[in-house]
Every structure is written in C-alpha cells, then in structure tokens.
Amino acid sequence: MRLLIVEDEKRLAQSLAKGLAAEGFAVDVVHDGAEGLHQATEHDYDLIVLDIMLPGMNGYRVCGALRAAGDDTPVLMLTAKDGEYDEAEGLDTGADGYLTKPFSYVVLLARIRALLRRHSRGGQRALTVGDLVVDPAARHVTRGAAPVELTAKEFAVLEQLALRAGHVVSKAEILEHVWDFAYDGDPNIVEVYVSALRRKIDAPFGRKSIQTVRGAGYRLTPESGPR
C-alpha cells in the first residue's frame, strides 16, 4: 500500500517514513500543504498522514479540498494542539482520524492499519487467485491450506500483482506502488522480489503462477493444481 506523509517537521517525517517503509508500505513525503495537495491529487494513495500546522496551506484546508473534489482517501491528521475543538474541526473537514503529538509510533501504526481496514470493509477483504489467497488487512498469504511467509516488501509486490490478477503489471507500476516516487535505484530490484515470490508461492507447490511477459512486466494467474 502507498502512503503520503505531509509533515513540515522533516526529522519526524523521515523517521515515520523509514518505519512505515520497514512495514512494507511505499511512502512519499512532502513538507508543505500545497505540495501535499498536489501529490494527493496527482497520485493514488491508500492513506494520507496529514499534519495540521503546515506552511502555505494548513491541513484543514488540504483535507477540505480533497473531500470537496470527491477524494475519499483515508486521512489521519497529526497536530501538536490538544483539545476537543481542534479534533472536531479536523473531523468536520472530512478527516478519518486524529492523533496528537507527541505520539507513540506503535499507536500511529495501529491507527493507520485500523483506518485501512475500515476503508476496505465495503470491498473485497481478500484477493483470491486460484488457491492463492492474499489478505491485505491481515497481511497473510496462503496457498491452499498452507500459510506462506513473506517479507513486507515481498507481500507488497504480490499484492500489486493480485490486485490486477490476469493482467500485465509493469515494473514501473510495481515500483510506483511498492517503493515511492523518489526511488532512483535499479528498477531490476523488482526482478529480485518476483524471483523470491516464485521460490515461496510457486516452487514449493509445483506452480508457475507468476508469468514474465517479456518487455511488458508480470502477470499473476490462477492454476487449478500442481504441474
């Protein structure tokens, strides 16, 4: 899943981004409200962590603009303020949650996961491709009745393939959703993770469900049984 952090305290923003990336999220970071609104409208995010006290355009206005445009991406607001009025104002603009600084990273992560679960309740809870089940909420994968242990990044790559099962997903699309817009490393990193997935979800079960489409990307397909 891809998150946007809009926070002008750069050390805090980078610390949060580092921690969330370690959990398998792709994380983009900007430091002012106008740029946050621009990024949120230009890219698809699963959740936005939005500070209220931002230069140029505060978090209330950013959130309000997104909601006015019909964007229902979950928004978790951060603020150094404390009081019922501030929380009410944040929620009135359409925010989905509110967290007062200083806060525990563990609490932040729990809030993010709760908002993501809540937002996905109306849709498909788990992604099923043949006997492969990818559960984004529980971050759990099974092949048949057998659990498959994946790292956070491996899970994120598989999730992108499962979301578009049967269709070709390019390396660029995987990089965009699993890493972030600032990633400037070797795009072949995707091949490394796809190879790891094949060793875990295909090889032990005699499957070949992740196909390479030369020059285009990868396709995840269902298979009825071992081959």
Q: Quick count: other Cβ atoms within 10 Å of Cβ 199? A: 11
Asked if the model's pLDDT at residue 123 lies above 50, the reply is no
- Whether residue 114 contacts residue 157, with contact meaning beta carbons closer than 8 Å, is answered with no
Tell me which residue of 4, 22, 5, 25 sits closest to 157, measured CA to CA: 25
Residue 106 C-beta-side C-alpha neighbours within 13 Å: 0
Q: What is the pLDDT of residues 16-58, one digit of tens each?
A: 999 998 888 889 999 999 999 999 998 889 899 999 989 989 9
pLDDT bucket at 172, cuts 50 / 70 / 90: confident
pLDDT value at residue 81? 61
- pLDDT tops 70 at residue 75: yes
The most distant pair of C-alpha atoms in the chain lies apart, rounded to whole Å, by 62
Least confident residue range of 83-97, 100-114, 170-184, 213-227: 83-97
Please give the helix or strand (H or E) that residue 110 lies within, else none: helix 105-119
The Cα 53–Cα 80 span in angstroms is 8
Backbone torsions φ then ψ of 134, nearest 5 degrees: -115, 115
Query: What is the pLDDT at residue 70?
Result: 86
Burial of 135 (0-12, 13-18, 19+ CB in 10 A): middle
pLDDT score, position 116: 82
Beta-carbon contacts of residue 208 (< 8 Å; ≥ 6 apart): 202, 223, 227
Share of the chain above pLDDT 90, in %: 39
- Has residue 150 got a pLDDT over 70? yes
- Is the pLDDT at 180 greater than 70? The verdict is no
* pLDDT for res 80: 76
Give residue 161's pLDDT: 93
Average pLDDT of span 150-157: 84
Task: Decide if 167 contacts 183 (C-beta within 8 A).
Answer: no
Residue 130 DSSP label: T
What was the pLDDT predicted at 195?
93
Does the pLDDT at position 224 exceed 90?
A: no
pLDDT of residue 88: 55
